């Protein structure tokens, strides 16, 4: 019998300052993801202790999986091939589900220090980084990378993608924007098609996927089977599940489910951070969810002026109880 085609994959994106282990846990338990990627570990001057990696990814202590069983890959950011390789070899002792290289972060501070997207004018360096890291880790640990289309234009995107492939990465995520584009819409989906056609390894499309319709549109425009979800997955915590089901929205039923996820998130965040910090984390998530759920907007406005966990708790419980009823 002929083998069945491999189903399209969904990956939860690394999102610095947003998608930490708590949010990864809550989102992956809603279902739909094949794997996810941590916030970046910055490698700049030294060999980091194992605690630096387990702090970013406590999942390393759980077979490198979230509680839902979703594999978690560790993302590195840096520009020194040998130092990146030494740290990769060190974290390999913890048996990560994979190692990912960050060539996509557009943050000015990171870019001023030769990290992230600032390296996209140096394809030779990208290849050297990938090759050196690949040689330093066991073959059974996947090595992937994420890049943008360039710094100010897309003229070297294909050079960078080919360099990373030549360096030994096994899959490449491409965020369909340049560094200077930041996160401004629209994403340049069409530019990914030529990269996908030129490479032998899988190319995963990323950028501006907020809805089921966007998911189908990015696959159509790029020809990529696999898609990485970023801010859209945070704005609609059920997006991956909705894509898997090919289902239309059911606002009332969805909010009932999402409200339970919010309660779980709040409980975990309080256990992780200081009482003065937890309200900000909750409002950050709700701020993105406002574009998907009017109930999230209402809750955000009710919590906006509250500053402590003690003040937030009763108001949040009142809203969640109403959703449960």
pLDDT in tens, 24-63: 999 999 999 999 999 999 999 999 999 999 999 999 999 9
Distance (Å) of CA 74 to CA 5, 18, 313? 28, 15, 33
Q: Calculate mean pLDDT across residues 128-146.
A: 98
- Judged against a pLDDT cut of 70, whether residue 2 lies above it is answered with no
Torsional class of 273: left (φ above 0), alpha (ψ -120 to 50), beta (otherwise): beta
CATH topology of domain 10-245: TIM Barrel (3.20.20)
What's the pLDDT score for residue 247?
77
Name the catalytic one among 36, 105, 160, 224: 105
CA distance 319 to 238: 19
Other C-beta atoms within 10 Å of 56: how many? Answer: 20
278-319 pLDDT per residue, tens? 999 999 999 999 999 999 999 999 999 999 999 999 999 998
CB atoms within 10 A of CB 160: 27
Q: 10-245 and 251-324: same fold?
A: no
* CA distances in angstroms from 58 to 61, 68, 96, 191, 272, listed in the order given: 6, 14, 11, 36, 12
* pLDDT at residue 181 in the model: 95
Q: Of 274, 241, 279, whose CA–CA distance to 258 is shortest?
A: 241
pTM: 0.94
pLDDT score of 4 more than 90: no
36 is catalytic: no
247-261 b/e (C-beta count within 10 Å ≥ 16 → b): eeeeeeebbeebbeb
**Rounded to an integer, what distance in angstroms lies between the CA atom of residue 178 and that of residue 243?**
27
Q: Where are the domains of the chain?
A: 10-245, 251-324
Q: What is the Cα–Cα distance from 64 to 96, expressed in whole angstroms?
A: 5
Look at residue 252 in the predicted model and tell me its pLDDT: 62
pLDDT, tens digit, 9 for 90 and up, residues 164-210: 999 999 999 999 999 999 999 999 999 999 999 999 999 999 999 99
pLDDT greater at residue 109 or residue 38: 38
Contact 315, 303 (CB under 8 A): yes
Does residue 111 contact residue 118 with C-beta atoms inside 8 Å?
Answer: yes
| 237-285 pLDDT, tens digit each | 999 999 999 876 665 679 999 999 999 999 999 999 998 999 999 999 9
For residue 77, is pLDDT > 90? Answer: yes
Q: For residue 7, name the pLDDT band (cuts at 50, 70, 90).
A: confident
CATH architecture of 251-324: Up-down Bundle (1.20)
pLDDT tens sequence across 86-101: 999 999 999 999 999 9
């Amino acid at each position: 019998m002929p083998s069945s085609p491999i189903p399209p994959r969904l990956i939860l994106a690394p999102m610095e300052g947003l998608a930490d282990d708590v949010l990864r846990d809550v989102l992956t338990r809603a279902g739909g993801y094949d794997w996810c990627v941590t916030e970046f570990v910055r490698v700049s001057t030294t060999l980091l202790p194992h605690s630096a990696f387990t702090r970013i990814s406590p999942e390393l202590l759980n077979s490198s999986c979230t509680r839902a069983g979703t594999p978690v890959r560790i993302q590195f950011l840096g520009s020194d091939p040998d130092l990146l390789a030494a740290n990769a070899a060190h974290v390999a002792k913890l048996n990560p589900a994979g190692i990912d290289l960050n060539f996509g972060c557009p943050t000015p501070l990171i870019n001023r220090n030769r990290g992230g997207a600032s390296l996209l004018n140096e394809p030779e360096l990208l290849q050297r980084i990938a090759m050196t890291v690949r040689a330093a880790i066991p073959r059974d640990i996947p090595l992937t990378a994420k890049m943008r289309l360039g710094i100010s234009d897309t003229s070297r995107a294909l050079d960078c993608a080919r360099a990373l492939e030549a360096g030994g990465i096994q899959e490449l995520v491409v965020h369909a924007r340049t560094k200077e584009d930041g996160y401004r819409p629209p994403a340049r989906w069409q530019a990914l098609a030529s990269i996908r056609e030129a490479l032998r390894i899988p190319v995963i499309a990323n950028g501006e996927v907020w809805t089921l319709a966007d998911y189908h549109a990015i696959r159509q425009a790029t020809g990529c089977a696999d898609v990485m979800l970023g801010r859209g997955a945070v704005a609609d915590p059920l997006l991956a599940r909705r894509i898997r089901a090919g289902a239309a929205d059911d606002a009332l039923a969805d909010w009932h489910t999402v409200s339970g996820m919010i309660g779980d998130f709040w409980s975990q965040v309080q256990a992780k951070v200081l009482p003065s910090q937890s309200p900000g984390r909750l409002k950050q998530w709700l701020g993105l969810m406002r574009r998907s759920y009017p109930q999230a907007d209402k809750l955000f406005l009710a919590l906006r002026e509250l500053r402590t966990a003690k003040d937030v708790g009763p108001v949040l419980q009142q809203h969640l109880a109403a959703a449960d009823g």
